Amino acid sequence: MASDRRVGFLGFGNMGRAIAGGLIARGTMRPEQLAAFDVDEARRAAAGALGMQQADSARALAQASGVLLVAVKPQHAAEALEPVAEVPGADILVISICAGLSTGFFEERLGGRVRVVRAMPNTPALVGAGATALAPGRHCREEDVDFAKSVFESVGRVEVVPESAMDAVTALSGSGPAYFFYLVECLVRAARDEGLTEAQATELAKQTALGAGRLLMESDEGASVLRERVTSKGGTTEAALRAFQEHGFEGVVRAGVAAAAARSRELGR
């Protein structure tokens, strides 16, 4: 058990449910330590189905919580925080998964000395395979970061980074799942052109993505070494990689990551 703290989820959409479900499934926290408030009645009911408490209002949630996990859409965050503006004080920890919103955004609205940890999880957290980066605010304590790590380790892997790196994190792991999904889409279409059915191509591409990812995670060797081991001189893989290089594959990837990071910076202003 990571803590006896009570965690209140302000907003309980897919990511909130994934995090709460992970905390319960791994035994990090008990259902009765968790509570949620969402303006959507069905989402509050989903919290109840997990054994969590259902708060009647955002203010009541904050008053009953030692940790407030803000899981609303970024464009709704300012409105969602209004009812709790005077509640946090010095003793509550705020964890935000609102993409693009700085720790300063929450300090400004909840009191200048509020302790804030900014988190950027990604959608594979829904299956317990997430990648989350944490950036502590200026008033955070070491135990705050440790607690936030325990929360997100319940749904995957965690890295702690300076807040200045969060735009890069957003462009890499935050948006990253879509890049891999798009690559699978492209592979499936290409394989269909070479004679496979869509169903066959899809299953083979999915399993290839899973296997390559698992091999990369479980190997002590880097991606470049693993790539070289698959690439026989004069073979099919070498032909494909040469074509990728000739068509500017790395440049396309760099441009995409740069565009995502630039958009993240814009959204945070």
- In this prediction, residue 1 carries a pLDDT of 46
User: What pLDDT is attached to residue 88?
Assistant: 61
Q: Could you tell me which of 215, 172, 209, 173 has the C-alpha nearest to residue 188? A: 209
Query: What confidence score (pLDDT) does residue 220 get?
Result: 95
- Cα 87 to Cα 100: distance, rounded to the nearest angstrom: 24
For 157-189, the pLDDT digits (tens) are: 999 999 999 999 999 999 999 999 999 999 999
Q: ∠ CA(72), CA(78), CA(80), 5° rounding?
A: 50
What's the confidence (pLDDT) of residue 3? 61
Each residue's pLDDT, cut to its tens digit, for the chain (269 residues) gives 456 789 999 999 999 999 999 999 999 999 999 999 999 999 999 999 999 999 999 999 999 999 999 999 988 999 999 998 877 655 789 999 998 899 999 999 988 788 999 999 999 999 999 999 999 999 999 999 999 999 999 999 999 999 999 999 999 999 999 999 999 999 999 999 999 999 999 999 999 999 999 999 999 999 999 999 999 999 999 999 999 999 999 999 999 999 999 998 887 77
pTM above 0.85, yes or no: yes
The length of the chain is 269
Order of strands across the sheet that contains 67-70: 53-54, 34-37, 7-10, 67-70, 93-96, 115-120, 130-136, 156-160
Q: How far apart are CA 30 and CA 166, in angstroms?
A: 30
Residue-level pLDDT at 57:
94
Determine whether 96 is exposed, middle or buried from the number of CB atoms within 10 Å of its CB (0-12, 13-18, 19+). Answer: buried
